[in-house]
Chains A and B, each alone.
Chain A
Amino acid sequence: ETGVTQSPTHLIKTRGQQVTLRCSSQSGHNTVSWYQQALGQGPQFIFQYYREEENGRGNFPPRFSGLQFPNYSSELNVNALELDDSALYLCASSTGLAGARGDTQYFGPGTRLTVL
């Protein structure tokens, strides 16, 4: 078990609604990354936050937005939900800029979002 927690575990929304997912980083980690994993696929990078600033973004539209707080916890917000947004949303924490230093990312258990 990593020290990364996510809430809620499961969520059901309808098309057009907005959703907020939450992530608490492992102690001592200042970087959080969010991933979307559709059924049967690998995780797709959404964005990364480092010390409260967005550090990079994948191919996701602006209706996917995020925040990182001073305690390094994070939120993922998705507006105007679409059916294709149904997926497992994973957050991962690490120290520093994980990619450049090759640091391991520690994943939370995920939030399963279903859009009807």
Chain B
Amino acid sequence: SQQGEEDPQALSIQEGENATMNCSYKTSINNLQWYRQNSGRGLVHLILIRSNEREKHSGRLRVTLDTSKKSSSLLITASRAADTASYFCATVNDYKLSFGAGTTVTVRA
């Protein structure tokens, strides 16, 4: 079973717009990570937020974490065609990553 659930399942936006996706999870976590996957290939780590952090930024990415609601969000600002990919949240508990089913983002030129 998957720990995290991303919402929405798919997102289509115009280049330059912002993209927001959400992740909900079920159990307590050490930290939460977001990954990107292009065309069914390997995952690329984007950002890690620890359970005692509420917000984190990395370039055009902004991640929030609300442990009371067991949820996180990923915002990509000023999207580009190269941001077209699937995005996964992964919760970290003990030794393993537990992934959701992902959000597929399509950025239209």
A interface with B by C-beta (< 8 Å):
2, 4, 33, 35, 37, 39-45, 48, 50, 55-56, 58-59, 88, 90, 92, 97-100, 102, 104-110, 112
Q: Which of chain A's residues have a CB closer than 8 A to the CB of B45?
A: 104-107
Q: Which of chain A's residues have a CB closer than 8 A to the CB of B102?
A: 41-42
Whether A33 pairs with B97 at a CB distance below 8 angstroms is: yes
Whether A99 pairs with B41 at a CB distance below 8 angstroms is: no
For the complex of A and B, 6 pairs with smallest distance between CB atoms: A42-B99, A99-B95, A102-B31, A107-B42, A109-B42, A107-B43
Q: Which chain B residues (79-109) contact chain A, with CB distance < 8 Å?
A: 88, 90, 92-102
A54 to chain B, nearest CB (A): 11
Known: A42-B100, A108-B42. 13 other contacts (CB 8 A): A40-B101, A41-B2, A43-B99, A45-B98, A50-B95, A56-B96, A58-B96, A92-B97, A98-B92, A99-B97, A104-B48, A107-B35, A110-B41
Bound: A63/B42 CA distance, A: 24
Bound: A37/B99 CA distance, A: 10
Bound: A115/B1 CA distance, A: 23
Whether A99 pairs with B50 at a CB distance below 8 angstroms is: no
Tell me, yes or no, whether B33 is within 8 Å of chain A by CB.
Answer: yes
Whether A99 contacts B88 in the complex (CB less than 8 A), given A42-B99, A43-B43, A90-B43, comes out as no
Whether B95 pairs with A56 at a CB distance below 8 angstroms is: yes
Whether B97 pairs with A105 at a CB distance below 8 angstroms is: yes
Q: Which of chain A's residues have a CB closer than 8 A to the CB of B2?
A: 41-42, 44
Tell me, yes or no, whether B40 is within 8 Å of chain A by CB.
Answer: yes
Q: Which of A50, A90, A105, A112: most chain B CB closer than 10 A?
A: A105
Bound: A55/B95 CA distance, A: 8
Closest to B4 in A: A42
Bound: A100/B42 CA distance, A: 23
Bound: A43/B36 CA distance, A: 12
Bound: A41/B98 CA distance, A: 12
Closest to A110 in B: B42
Listed A/B pairs (25) with beta-carbon separation below 8 Å: A2-B42, A33-B96, A35-B97, A35-B99, A41-B102, A42-B2, A42-B4, A42-B100, A42-B101, A44-B2, A48-B95, A59-B1, A92-B43, A92-B97, A98-B92, A98-B97, A99-B92, A99-B93, A99-B97, A102-B92, A107-B43, A108-B42, A109-B41, A109-B42, A110-B41
